[in-house]
Amino acid sequence: MRWCFRYRKSLSAYLDGRLSARRCVGLERHLAACEACRKALDDLRAVGPALTAWQAPPPPPYMVTRILARARNRQREEVPRRTWRRGVFVPGLIRRVFAGATAALLIGVAAGWLVGRHWGPGETAIPEVSQTLEADPVEVYSLDYLGDAPGGSLADCYLTLLSEPRAGGD
Amino acid sequence: MLDAGRGDLSAFEEIVRRHQGWAWNAAYHFLGHAGEAEDVVQDAFLRLLDAAERYRPTASFKTYFNRIVTRLCVDRKRKRQPLYVEDIPDTADPAPLADEVMAKGEIAAAVKAALDALPAKQRMAVVLRYYQGLDYEEIAAAMETTPKAVERLLARGREGLRAILGANEIL
């Protein structure tokens, strides 16, 4: 009885001839002595014939037609999915991505060349900060209408604030 | 298969006609529903067509296709609503007699219900063993597992069926 649990696990493999010879001998010895396990084996054997009592009906009559119709539609909608180049297989999607990346790289290089050519060495599109700070605020901001303001006036203060403090003053 | 991969639809048609029977058989026994089985078979053949250009004849075609059918069946089962024995499809069944034939006989209905009660992998192992006649190695290849795992799945599946069918006095 205590071996039943152990041998029951082997019954399925025994039915399919998957047990080693040594294990078969041990199981058959147990089956000879154990009615419960013999019954379990008979029940397992009966599963097969019971299953075959449920048979599938024939396939639907137009299933093949429907499959082929879908296949044809798919083929019509598909763009060519592969090209062969020098015997190297390049899937269509990878080829398109590669072409796009190459085009982007070329455009980037060309744009960089044009930008570099326009400004040249030493020229920048944006003036340096120090040049901006050194610009005369009066000229830059057209503040000459304060030119006749007396010294120490508000206009002087404003202009002083605008300009960068320099060594030795203005 | 190689011709189908080059876009030869007549070659593909030959493949469909040659293998539709057992693909339908496996899908029907696994899913228990004619409409769903047909969907799975259609999808399986179209996937086969998609993969045709990458196919290399290193393994048996049937094993390769079995794998596709098995995967689709298990996925379908996972997503499916519970199956009722008196299931009435919303759309007209193109083969109305199929469900009628299937429903005949208490044993057939009990077997169907018993199979449906099994977990998906056990059910698939039982279907491939009993309805497709595959051996352990072929089942393992179709289910992408090992023969030892198939042995365990079959053992548990058989035990489950024995319990259910025994309770219904079928065995």
The residue type of A58 is: P
CA of B155: which chain A residue's CA is closest?
A12
Distance of CA A161 to the CA centre of its chain: 56
Q: How confident is the model at residue B4 (pLDDT cuts 50, 70, 90)?
A: low
**ipTM higher than threshold 0.95:** no
Could B111 and A50 be called an inter-chain contact, meaning their C-beta atoms sit closer than 8 Å?
yes
Residue A75 C-alpha, separation from nearest chain B C-alpha, in angstroms: 8
How far apart CA B94 and CA B86 sit, in angstroms, is 17
Q: Which residue has the higher pLDDT, A111 or B88?
A: A111
In a domain, A167, yes or no: no
In a domain, A14, yes or no: yes
Interface check A6 vs B, CB under 8 A:
no
At residue B37, the pLDDT reads 93
Q: Which residues pair with A90 in a beta bridge?
A: A83
Q: Residue A148 phi/psi, 5° resolution?
A: -90, 10
| Number of domain units in chain A | 3
How far apart CA A108 and CA A99 sit, in angstroms, is 14
Could B158 and A47 be called an inter-chain contact, meaning their C-beta atoms sit closer than 8 Å?
yes
Question: Are the CB atoms for A15 and A44 separated by under 8 Å?
Answer: yes
Interface check A49 vs B, CB under 8 A:
no
pLDDT at B23 over 80: yes
Q: Residue A85 phi/psi, 5° resolution?
A: -130, 115
The range of the structural domain enclosing residue B58 comes to 2-167
Q: Which residues pair with A84 in a beta bridge?
A: A89
| Number of domain units in chain B | 1
In a domain, A108, yes or no: yes
Q: Which residue in A170, A162, A46, A97 sits closest to B168, CA to CA?
A: A46
Interface check B163 vs A, CB under 8 A:
no
Q: Which residues of B touch A92 (CB under 8 A)?
A: none
In a domain, A38, yes or no: yes
Burial call A17-56: b when 16+ CB within 10 Å, e when fewer: ebbeeeeeeebeebbeebeebeebbebbebbeebbeebeb
Q: DSSP readout, B106-139?
A: HHHHHHHHHHHHS-HHHHHHHHHHHTS---HHHH
In a domain, A59, yes or no: no
Q: How confident is the model at residue B92 (pLDDT cuts 50, 70, 90)?
A: very low
Q: What is the pLDDT of residues B25-69, one digit of tens each?
A: 999 999 988 999 999 999 999 998 888 777 666 667 888 888 999
CB-based burial of residue B14 (10 Å sphere; 0-12 exposed, 13-18 middle, 19+ buried)?
A: middle
CA of A10: which chain B residue's CA is closest?
B155
In chain A, the DSSP E strands lie at 82-85, 88-91
Question: Are the CB atoms for A43 and B162 separated by under 8 Å?
Answer: yes
Could B53 and A50 be called an inter-chain contact, meaning their C-beta atoms sit closer than 8 Å?
no
Partner residue facing B29 (CB), from A56, A66, A75 = A56
pTM: 0.62
In a domain, A37, yes or no: yes
Mean pLDDT value across chain A: 76
CA of A67: which chain B residue's CA is closest?
B42
Question: Are the CB atoms for A149 and A155 separated by under 8 Å?
Answer: yes
Residue A67 C-alpha, separation from nearest chain B C-alpha, in angstroms: 6
Q: How confident is the model at residue A167 (pLDDT cuts 50, 70, 90)?
A: low
Interface check B136 vs A, CB under 8 A:
yes
Same domain (yes/no): A116, A142: no
Task: Determine the average pLDDT of the residues in A123-135.
Answer: 54
Same domain (yes/no): A21, A44: yes
In a domain, A46, yes or no: yes
Distance of CA B133 to the CA centre of its chain: 12
Same domain (yes/no): A137, A120: no
In a domain, A111, yes or no: yes
Q: What is the pLDDT of residues A43-59, one digit of tens each?
A: 999 999 889 888 889 99
The range of the structural domain enclosing residue A121 comes to 93-125
How far apart CA B26 and CA B32 sit, in angstroms, is 10
Q: What percent of chain A has pLDDT over 90?
A: 28
Kindly report the CATH number assigned to the domain that includes residue B98.
1.20.140.160
Could B126 and A50 be called an inter-chain contact, meaning their C-beta atoms sit closer than 8 Å?
no
The residue type of B145 is: T
